[in-house]
Structures are given as structure tokens and as C-alpha cells.
Chains A and B, each alone.
Chain A
Amino acid sequence: MTITVATARKHRKKNSLISALPWIGPAVALILLVVIWPAIELVKISFTKISLAGALGGFNGLQNFRDLFANPNLSVIALRTVIWVFLVVFLTVIISLPIAQLINQKFPGRKFVRWAMIVPWAASVVMTSIIWKWILDLSSGELNLTLTQLGIIHDDVDWLHDPRFSFYVLVFVAVFVSIPFTSFVLLAGLQSIPADLSEAASVDGATPWQIYRRIKFPLLRNSLAIATIINLINVFNSFPIIWAMTHGGPGYDTDTTTTFAYKMAFIEYNMGPSTALGAVNFFFILIIVGIYLRVTRAARIEA
């Protein structure tokens, strides 16, 4: 994007917004309609009295929020959401770092390995989740079959309904679908590091680990920050995995604030607190987006 800025700067005269409108107007209109309108609507109705059927009453002050915070399930779900986001993002990044390093090496078949890693990225997340649900099936899934054959377990494990496992199974699937994108962002970062840097260090007697730790990793900082923030948002908003595999159940045992808000709105028709939770979720995302905009701007200025 640096080129964009450079080219634009060549043209000293600055056009007015009016002359830009025919070109960017449709894009602005689409964003207003699809992103800004729902955002305003969401915040507005969170302060509005709303019937079970969704009919609006008058201004309701903070009543929807009071109803939300009076919900006995909320604190556990909020805590689980924090664990969910940090666990999934942390594992994703920690695993993607060596994978990016690996697929940056030269070896026969590298192209096919990279293609293989694109598959979970391209495939629908709902479909991937349903496949994992089948693999983890109590009596017919391949996981229990394989573990039994290897003698690791003797009785089939009900991965998705046993409260000891169900949440971590979801974490596993979320990490599985997040790694490909993250690895490719980090790979792009690695590829942008000039090869002569590490060659020079190697001539000076640096070990491969030192080269990675002292040269490559610091230069990966931008890619790492971007990948982490995009993952934070995606994982916080992650709806299809949980919905397809457990519906947030049993009970509310695997709900996050995102699925809980959806459940209240569209399954339990408990609109008031649901809109309040939706607004709270939106507020958190706004903060992360703000951080993202700062980080990317810093990255662009550095570039």
C-alpha cells in the first residue's frame, strides 16, 4: 500500500470530496447500509424496551443491561469466553510459528503441503465442524476406534457431551481452522525477510536458533501482531463451530457470549438482554478494531 500513498502524493493538488463521490459513493453507501446501520440499530435497541416478539416500546434506560447482568449464567459464560479467546488464539499462534518456518524451507512437495494447508481455510467452517463431529462420534467415529485399537482407551469417550472434554474439543477445532490463515500470514512475513540477513549471521557463526530468535522473530513482529489481532476478532465472533458441534450445550456449558446472545435472541426469544449482550460484544470488538487500526497504521508508517 506504500505505492498507493506514493502515487497519490505525486499529484499535488487535492481533490474535493464532492469530486470523489461518484467513485467512492457506492462503496460508502454499501458500508453505511450493511455495517453502520446494523451497528446503530443494535446499540439503539439495547436501550429500548422490546417485546418477546421483537416489537419496540419506548426508551428503557439500562433495564436491558440490568436484566442481562441478573442472568445467573452470564458470569460463567463471560469467563469461558475469555478462556476461549485466549486459549484458541495462543495455541493457534504458537503452533503456526513453527509451521510457517517449516513451509518456508525448500523441500520436494512443498507446493502440495501448502495446498493441503489451504483446504481447511477454503472449506466452510460449518462443514469442517460437522466432519469433526462425525470423527468424534461416540460409537462410529474414527477417533474412538483408533484410540481403542492403540489400546489407549477401553471405553468409548463421548467427546462432545462429556463436560470434561466438550469445551476442549471445540478449542481444538477452532485452532484447526485458524492455523492455516495464521501460518500463511506468518509465511508472508518470513518471505519478506531478506535472505542475506540470515546468511550474513550464519557466516558470523550464529546458530540457526540464534538466527531465528535474534533476526527473524523480531522482523516477524508486525505479521505476528496482525495475525494475532485478526484471530482475536475471528475467535471472539466464532459462531459456526460452536453452533454446529454443540449448540452451546449441554445447557449453556459450551456457550460463549456470541452464541449466548444468539441463543437468547433467536431461540429463547429473550430479546431485551440479548440486545444488551450484543451491544457489549460489539463494544469489545470496537476496542480490538481500534487496536488493529493503530497497529496497521504504525506498520504502514514504518514501511
Chain B
Amino acid sequence: MSALKSSEVKVLKKKREFTPKKIAIMASAYLIAWFFVYPYINMLMTSLKPHGELYTAPTHHVPIHWKFTNYIEVWKHAPIAGFLKSSLIVSICATILVLLVSIPAAYYVARNRFRGRGFFLLLVLATQMFSPTALIIGIFREVKFFHGLNGYPALIVVNAGFNLAFAVWLLSGFFASVPVEIEEAAMVDGCSKFKALTKITLPVALPGIVTAVIFTFVSTWNEFTVALTVMSSLPKEPISVGITTFIGEYDVAWEYLFATTTIAIIPVVILFISIEKYLVGGLTAGSVK
């Protein structure tokens, strides 16, 4: 017993030791981490500079005078409240639509064999591979056909369609992990099939549902090509397209532009980090073991 303990202590000590190899690993990892956040730090710093400081040579990495009021002034400088509102409406509605459509499909696929199941799964997988960019001319003409240009519904439906696959694949995996016997037992005890689904299976699939919600929300929030193509009236543009209005011919209001992108980026980064564990599984559609 004591021998075991002393060996455990040894292992613990070994873990805390910083060998040259470990230091090299840490140094390169931190360097890489810095490289990937560096542009966003630069964005944050620029958003806190007074306009004059942007163009004075030599440029400074951090503001000489911190101008936090950029974050207040920006709301008057550009219709970003409108942009954010559009992005919120489109992203929230697309997310709800994805849930409404994907939960029953994923549940049924996980629980039943039926004629055409393989084809359905193949269709879903294929959709995930198509980006709206590849079909943009077709999408534009279809939206025009439905008189949907400059309206939210078209943007909502298109975004929901292209994010459906992620949700169906991820959720069917979660549903399949709930043994059907538990549901059947609940039904024997007098639960309706619907009640068994909502009271027993859905709570187990909750992490999957949260992941699908966040993923759809973020990717709709960031979607650019379709929004650029079907939304041409200024106040209704979502933020991903709206920010390009800051870029004038000669003078770009970089500090306001970056205050806006900071506001738009920070929440989605936090959301994405919160679902880190499940992201890869949903995106690679169960093909990575």
C-alpha cells in the first residue's frame, strides 16, 4: 500500500517537472496560440484608439490614449443597432427552424429502419458539403421568384437549410445513445409516445441540442455570401454585410469598424468555445471515429 503511494507521489512529481522537452512544447504552443488570437488583439487595440492615432507614424501596438468612448460613438456613426437586430432575428429564427425540422428527423432515423433511410442520410450528408456560395446564382433567382429579396424569410430559410445536416447527424447520434428500452418502459408505465420523447429522450440529448443551437446560430450570424446577395437595403443588412459599409473610398473609420466587429465576434467566440467538445463530431458527420 505504502509502496503504491510512493510511486504515485513519484508520478505526481514527474508531472510537475519542467523538462526541456516540456518547455519546448509549452513555448511553441503558446506562440501558436498568440498567433491565432493576434489579429483579434490588434482589432481590439485599434478599436480603442482615437482616430488621429491610427494614421500617425510610427504606429503603436497599444493606444497612447485609450478611447473607450468609441464603443458609444459607434452606435451614432453607423446603423449598427439595425445590423445587430437583423442578425439576431435571422440567426434566432434559423436556429428555431433547424430544431423544429431536425429533431423529429434525427429521432426517427435513430430509432427506425425504413425504406429510403440510407438515401435520406446520403442526401443530408451531401447538403452539408454544399455551401450556398456554389449555388448562389440559383439561390438568388429562387428568392427573386418568391419575391423574397430584401426580406428576412429567405435568409432564414436558406441558412436553416444549410445548417440542417449538422443538427440531424449530431442529434441522431445522441438519440441513438438512449436505449429504446427506457422509452418503452416509460410507455408501459402509461406515458404517451410523445411524453416519453419529451420527458426521457430529449433531456439526454440536451447537450446535442445545445450544440446544434449554438452551431446554427453562429454560422448564420457569420454567413456572408447569401446575405450580401439577397439583402441590398441598408438598415436590414445583417452585421456580416453591414460592416462593409464602414469601408469608404478613401477614409475608413477603422476604430468604429473594429469596435463593431469586436461586439460581433466576442459573443460567438464564447459560444463556440462552450461547445468545443462536440463540434468536430457534428461537422465530420460521424466519419471520424
Chain A residues with CB under 8 Å of chain B are 1-4, 6-11, 13-17, 19-20, 22-24, 26-28, 30-31, 33-35, 37-42, 45, 54, 99, 102-103, 105-110, 112-128, 130-132, 134-135, 139-142, 145, 149, 176, 179-181, 184-185, 187-189, 192, 222-223, 226-227, 230, 233-234, 237-240, 243-244, 258, 261-262, 265-266, 274-275, 278, 281-282, 285, 288-289, 292-293, 295-296, 299-300, 303
Tell me which of A1, A142, A234, A292 contacts B169 (CB under 8 A): A1
Q: How far is the CA of A248 from the CA of B136 in the complex (A)?
A: 17
Apart from A120-B36, A126-B222, A131-B40, 9 more pairs, CB < 8 Å: A1-B169, A4-B109, A8-B117, A15-B115, A16-B114, A20-B114, A54-B144, A261-B137, A293-B122
> Distance in Å from the Cβ of A151 to the closest Cβ of chain B?
14
Chain B residues with CB under 8 Å of chain A are 15, 22, 25-26, 28-30, 32-34, 36-37, 39-40, 42-43, 46, 54-55, 57-59, 61, 97, 100-102, 104-105, 107-117, 120, 122-127, 129-131, 133-142, 144, 157-158, 160-162, 164, 168-169, 172-173, 176-177, 180, 218, 221-222, 224-225, 228-229, 240, 243-244, 247, 254, 257-258, 261, 264-265, 268-269, 271-273, 276, 279-281, 283-289
For B221, list chain A residues within 8 Å (CB). Answer: 124
A189 touches B288 (CB 8 A): yes
Tell me which of B58, B108, B218, B261 contacts A24 (CB under 8 A): B108
A122 touches B224 (CB 8 A): no
Q: How far is the CA of A262 from the CA of B135 in the complex (A)?
A: 10
Question: Chain B interface mostly helix, strand, loop or mixed?
Answer: helix
> Distance in Å from the Cβ of A281 to the closest Cβ of chain B?
6
For B269, list chain A residues within 8 Å (CB). Answer: 118-119, 122-123
B54 touches A140 (CB 8 A): yes
A1 touches B286 (CB 8 A): yes
Tell me which of B114, B137, B144, B265 contacts A124 (CB under 8 A): B265
Q: Show 29 A/B contacts (Cβ-Cβ < 8 Å), sorted by A.
A: A3-B176, A4-B109, A7-B180, A16-B114, A27-B102, A37-B138, A45-B137, A105-B29, A109-B29, A115-B273, A116-B32, A122-B268, A123-B268, A126-B243, A127-B240, A127-B264, A130-B243, A130-B247, A134-B42, A134-B46, A141-B59, A230-B283, A237-B131, A237-B133, A261-B137, A282-B134, A296-B125, A296-B286, A303-B289
For A132, list chain B residues within 8 Å (CB). Answer: 39
A180 touches B36 (CB 8 A): yes
A27 touches B25 (CB 8 A): no
Closest to B40 in A: A119
For A126, list chain B residues within 8 Å (CB). Answer: 222, 224, 240, 243-244
Q: How far is the CA of A40 from the CA of B100 in the complex (A)?
A: 26
Tally of contacts, chain A with chain B, CB under 8 A = 323
B133 touches A23 (CB 8 A): no
For A278, list chain B residues within 8 Å (CB). Answer: 134-138
Q: How far is the CA of A125 from the CA of B222 in the complex (A)?
A: 7
For A116, list chain B residues within 8 Å (CB). Answer: 32-34, 36-37
Tell me which of B34, B127, B142, B257 contacts A41 (CB under 8 A): B142
For B111, list chain A residues within 8 Å (CB). Answer: 7-8, 11
A26 touches B135 (CB 8 A): no
Closest to A31 in B: B127
For A114, list chain B residues within 8 Å (CB). Answer: 276
A131 touches B137 (CB 8 A): no
For B15, list chain A residues within 8 Å (CB). Answer: 106
A23 touches B104 (CB 8 A): yes
Closest to B284 in A: A226
For B120, list chain A residues within 8 Å (CB). Answer: 24, 27-28
Say whether, besides A222-B287, A222-B289, A240-B224, A285 and B25 are in contact (CB < 8 Å).
no
